[in-house]
Amino acid sequence: NAGVTQTPKFQVLKTGQSMTLQCAQDMNHNSMYWYRQDPGMGLRLIYYSASEGTTDKGEVPNGYNVSRLNKREFSLRLESAAPSQTSVYFCASSLGLAGLETQYFGPGTRLLVL
Amino acid sequence: SQKIEQNSEALNIQEGKTATLTCNYTNYSPAYLQWYRQDPGRGPVFLLLIRENEKEKRKERLKVTFDTTLKQSLFHITASQPADSATYLCALGHNYGQNFVFGPGTRLSVLP
């Protein structure tokens, strides 16, 4: 039981390049999330998926797209990376969508955009 | 706009003492408040959840209080140990929809 896994762990991109961050969970959770974490700003929600087949914008969605491939997998795509997207990205999952549910986080992807 | 503040960026205390971390919020009426621990290079890990109608919650050496009048939660670690050194995040949520907001965190260092 691996919980939430993310790939890659580290990535360096040049401005304008694209990439996809992968996330998978094996807890049969319905809801999945993508956050970014920057120094002094806490975790900010980029996109979330309440259930398979649905996605919605969070607080900071600009410059990102997501795909809920199936119940297990939720990917985040940067179409044209910018230096402002340098951050640590966390994927999380929870059984349901509400403040009552515990979120389980992956180990993070550290992204540097030059 | 909604705002969450945690007492300070960093807090240093001596081993054996009680650490008290603060989470204050404005322009928000959460139904739940959660506390997470985050170690360097890792994702946050859930610790405790407290509902708006609960005053206090305990788990082993951890205690959380929730005062909706003051719009504040206090997180206490009693008999602190160096292994408790980490960043602690508070997060506020509603019953419905995705309006789950994290605070910036407080980095706790417990000195031996």
Reported as a single tens digit per residue, the pLDDT across B92-101 is: 987 666 667 8
Rounded CA separation A92/A29 (Å): 10
Termini Cα distance of chain A: 36
Return the DSSP state at A83.
G
Rounded CA separation B37/A102 (Å): 13
- Across the interface, whether the CB atoms of A108 and B43 are under 8 A apart is answered yes
Select the residue of B9, B30, B45 nearest A99 (Cβ to Cβ): B30
Tokens of residue A70, six digits: 């199936």
- Across the interface, whether the CB atoms of A100 and B100 are under 8 A apart is answered no
CA-to-CA dists, residue A22 to A73, B16, B29, B97, angstroms = 7, 42, 34, 24
Select the residue of B9, B32, B104 nearest A100 (Cβ to Cβ): B32
Q: Which residue of A has its CA nearest to B8?
A: A40
Q: Does A50 touch chain B (CB under 8 A)?
A: yes
Q: Does B40 touch chain A (CB under 8 A)?
A: no
Q: Read off the pLDDT of residues A43-60 as tens digits, 9 standing for 90 and up.
A: 999 999 989 989 999 989
Rounded CA separation A25/A32 (Å): 9
Return the DSSP state at B18.
P
Question: Once rounded to an integer, what is the mean pLDDT over residues A86-106?
Answer: 89
What pLDDT is stored for residue A39 in this prediction?
83
R_g of chain B, CA atoms, integer Å: 13
